[in-house]
Amino acid sequence: MKRIALFTSGGDAPGMNAHIRAVERVGEKRGVEVVGIIGGYSGMIAGHFELLDRIRTANIIDRGGTILKTSRCEDFLSVEGRVRAIEQLRSNGIEGVIACGGDGTFHGAHALWTEHGMPIVGTPGTIDNDLSGTDFTIGYDTAINTAAQAIDKIRDTADSHGRLFFIEVMGRHAGFIAMDVGIACGAEYIAVPETITDIDELYRRIVSQGRERRTVVIVGEGDELGGAMGISKAIEERYGIPSKVSILGHIQRGGSPTVRDRVLASRLGAAAVDALLGGQTDVMIGEVAGSVRMVPLEDTWTTRKPVPGYLKELSTILI
């Protein structure tokens, strides 16, 4: 291969720029041109391509977001949209692609390979940490540190006013963020999508503190009761306890990446280039127990990655 492409897709994640920089640097060392696709799958269909070099990727390693931009592309879900995308790739001389994103990104990447034979390698770029085949995803460490800092500040207010706070963090289908920041911030209860929220047990935990309204509960947005708003409403209707709700939202996606995310993103970016040049395709590059691993793209979404049981147990012990 002499010319490969790179794009970021889906939700942005801190560390994506470090990843872009690593892919360009390693490509250059291997004698390969690296083309950036601007705007994810939408940019692929529209032909928004830009040759990356050392100048374009200089001084971006500490920046949040992604200089290649990102999108969620409805057109790519259709066969016709994918045909237009592959035509753009081939007309621009692209011989292989690196796709950085989450499971939606990988579904599209898998289709490019199976339908059109375009060699493609994925790297896990999502704050949710919900992809099988890697211990951690690019952006996760930054997101949990950002969330923890915000929760620590809210706890000060909860303590000063003697109030019950429900704080919602991201994670539509996975409770990794909620579980880690809940333990780290000393939450009295942690509600995650993987478990059924027990309102009666939550009430007992609140009362057990001896200070009914001076409590912090962490809620993953995918909780079955409707996130923090739903749980807040349920606890007030059943037990008459008023509360405040804070939804951290997209603040968790932004900001300068932590050292851990910069190193992970750089390592996986370098490994992705070498995997692609070595003939690998339809795989995701991850890190497991400190070693770089490759898993089929399909495995990243068909095999569910569970929140560790020891964390669930720990969260109940430390209240």
pLDDT band at residue 213 using 50, 70 and 90 as cut-offs: low
Can 3-139+257-302 and 140-253 be said to share one CATH topology? yes
Q: For 22-47, what is each residue's pLDDT tens digit?
A: 999 999 999 999 999 999 999 999 99
Which residue from 204, 227, 224, 229 is spatially nearest to 215, judged by alpha carbons?
204
Q: Which of 128, 130, 223, 261 is catalytic?
A: 128
Cα-Cα end-to-end distance for the chain: 55
For the segment 69-115, what is each residue's pLDDT rounded down to a tens digit?
A: 998 899 999 999 999 999 999 999 999 999 999 999 999 999 999 99
Amino acid at 254: G
10 Å Cβ neighbour count for 77? 14
* Local structure of 20: helix, strand or coil: helix
How confident is the prediction for the chain on average, in pLDDT?
95
What is the CATH number that goes with domain 140-253?
3.40.50.460
User: Where do the DSSP E strands lie in the chain?
Assistant: 3-8, 33-37, 49-52, 96-101, 120-124, 164-169, 189-191, 215-220, 244-247, 283-288, 291-296
Q: What is the pLDDT of residues 131-189, one digit of tens each?
A: 999 999 999 999 999 999 999 999 988 888 878 999 999 988 899 999 999 999 999 89
pLDDT exceeds 80 at position 210: no
247 and 154 in contact (C-beta within 8 Å)?
no
Domain residues of the chain, as ranges? Answer: 3-139+257-302, 140-253
Please report, to the nearest 10 degrees, the dihedral formed by the alpha carbons of residues 20, 26, 30, 36 taken in order.
10
Is there a catalytic annotation at residue 261? no
Query: Contacts for 248-252 with beta carbons within 8 Å, 24 or more apart?
Result: 248/147, 248/150, 248/151, 248/167, 248/168, 248/169, 248/170, 249/168, 249/170, 251/146, 251/150, 252/127, 252/143, 252/146, 252/147, 252/169, 252/170, 252/177
Residue pair 259/10 in contact (Cβ under 8 Å)? The answer is no
One-letter amino acid of 71? S
pTM for the whole structure: 0.94
Tell me which CATH code domain 3-139+257-302 carries: 3.40.50.450
